[in-house]
Amino acid sequence: MIAWRSCLLVLTALAACTVPLAAQAEQRRGFWVGAGLGGGAAGIDIPAVGDVGKLGLSGYVNIGGTVRPAVLLGVEGIGWLRSDPDTTRQLGMLSAVVSLYPLADKDFFFVKAGFGAAFYAENASQDAFRAYGFAFHAGVGGDYRLSEKILLGLLVQYVRSPNQEVKRNRQILFGKLDFEMIQFSLGVRWHKRGW
């Protein structure tokens, strides 16, 4: 559904842009909040329509706490939007998320994963429908420390919501919708130290 060549290109760019830091992981602690904005390459398998591939605006917001210097737990909201002259498509997701820093003494590389619920909405001039279901996401990223409490980060993650139940006017339609996306974004995270 999604051009994996594009995905590989984005991951390569992320690896090239990630800057190793001398800052120690002990500075990464306490309550944190973050947000990011970028793009999303989405593949949507719609019943009776087939695969639809679209690029759109995508972003995330998250909040949580630092369990250990190498482990962050939180809640994350992910959004995707594509607006065409005749159709508006959007996805929203809310998930529990964990971020792990495999190199515990460095800030610059992390992996993350989350699981939650999602909705997909499509509004066209002649029709509209909604779809609901569970969703998961996984990704890799890199941080660049701007100050003691603020980090700038690049993130690439895969988002999937399979087998969504499709409804029109509260009536369940035949078939299931499948949504997947490669999201790439630039974000900022703020840590309140000492919590």
Q: What is the pLDDT of residues 22-78, one digit of tens each?
A: 434 445 678 999 999 999 999 888 766 656 778 999 999 999 999 888 899 999 999
- Identify the domain containing residue 164 by its residue range: 4-192
Q: Residue 76: which of 59, 58, 57, 63 has the closest Cα? A: 63
Least reliable range by pLDDT among 47-56, 103-112, 118-127, 156-165: 47-56
* Beta-sheet strands, E only, within 12-100: 31-46, 50-68, 71-83, 87-100
Say whether pTM exceeds 0.75: yes
Question: Residue range 6-18: average pLDDT?
Answer: 46
- Split at pLDDT 50, 70, 90, the class of 104 is low
How far apart CA 189 and CA 36 sit, in angstroms, is: 9
The count of structural domains within the chain is 1
The residue among 125 and 61 whose pLDDT is bigger is: 61
Q: What pairs with residue 172 in β-bridges?
A: 167
pLDDT of residue 49: 62
- Split at pLDDT 50, 70, 90, the class of 189 is very high
pLDDT of residue 69: 82
Could you tell me the CATH number of the domain that includes residue 134?
Answer: 2.40.160.20
* Sign of torsion over alpha carbons 4, 82, 59, 100: negative
pLDDT of residue 183: 96
